Structure 1
Amino acid sequence: MEPRGVSGRLPAAGGRRPRPHGAEGRIRAARFPSRKSLEDFDFDHQRSVKREVISHLGTLDFVVGKENVIFLVPSVINGFRF
């Protein structure tokens, strides 16, 4: 059963694609040149990064626990000063 008045308020598509919602739509809209994931990261190349720490951060437990995460990096990377 359709709620009263809902169908009358929906906009007509008019041949246009609906706007994407959520993270997937934002990633497409950003037009990144490629898509990367933690599984793609080369830990052998970047030896200073601890695989266990990155894997734990990838679970996003800190979000659920309402905790902060701070990433400390050197002040100069590839000649660029932060």
Structure 2
Amino acid sequence: MYKLTSVFPDTEKFGLTNQMRRAAVSIASNVAEGYGRATRGEYLQFLGHARGSGSEVETQIVIAKELGFGSKDQLRKAKSYAMKLGEC
């Protein structure tokens, strides 16, 4: 996500760029936090949060594409990664 958003316009630094980076980091962070929890139920809850962040990223990629940000190849790869996360 950082590579993809590094080519976004500077005007998006505190907008879409920030949102996409935070959501992407949130995915891994929620998986890790859930793994560190005491019960299976808590773990599953955090996996749900991670899946939600993955959906957020997917939507933001669509927005970036519509705005003409990033290359088609980068956007396609990022969307593919985000969709794989949704399958977990």
Higher helix share: 2
Same fold flag (TM > 0.5): no
Higher strand share: 1
TM-score, normalized by length of structure 2? Answer: 0.25
TM-score, normalized by length of structure 1? Answer: 0.26
* Higher relative contact order (Cα pairs below 8 Å, separated by 6+ residues): 2
